[in-house]
Amino acid sequence: MSTSVTPAELASAGSAQNPLLSSFLKFVPGLRGRLLLAFFVISLFVIAAAAAGLYALRDVGRTLDGITGKTVPAALDARELWRKSEKIIGVGPALVHASDSKEAEALTSRVRDQ
């Protein structure tokens, strides 16, 4: 009793199980074709990962630009307000000790001019 199977019988058994796979394997015959197909599939995974990384990096850049666009002007305005309040506070003791309204007006105009 012989249990040997011919390659033709194996091919016909494989095509009966999955016709899509067997029709696709006609285009990539042999081990060389399968290895080449595997290489291309792995390369596609790498390209997909790179595309996802670029998309994520672009999204992070947009978020960073949005944050910078909102917070930097507010920080500059806060710094300007701090500078002006420092000038006003610096003139406060001189205004308390001003002898008349002309001297107080002179101090006030000095703060406005700066």
Distances (CA, A) of 5 to 20, 46, 68: 23, 40, 71
Q: Whole-prediction pTM value?
A: 0.46
Longest dimension (CA), the chain: 129
Instruction: Report the pLDDT averaged over residues 28-56.
Output: 91
Contact (Cβ atoms closer than 8 angstroms) between residue 28 and residue 37: yes
State pLDDT tens for residues 20-39: 767 766 776 788 888 888 89
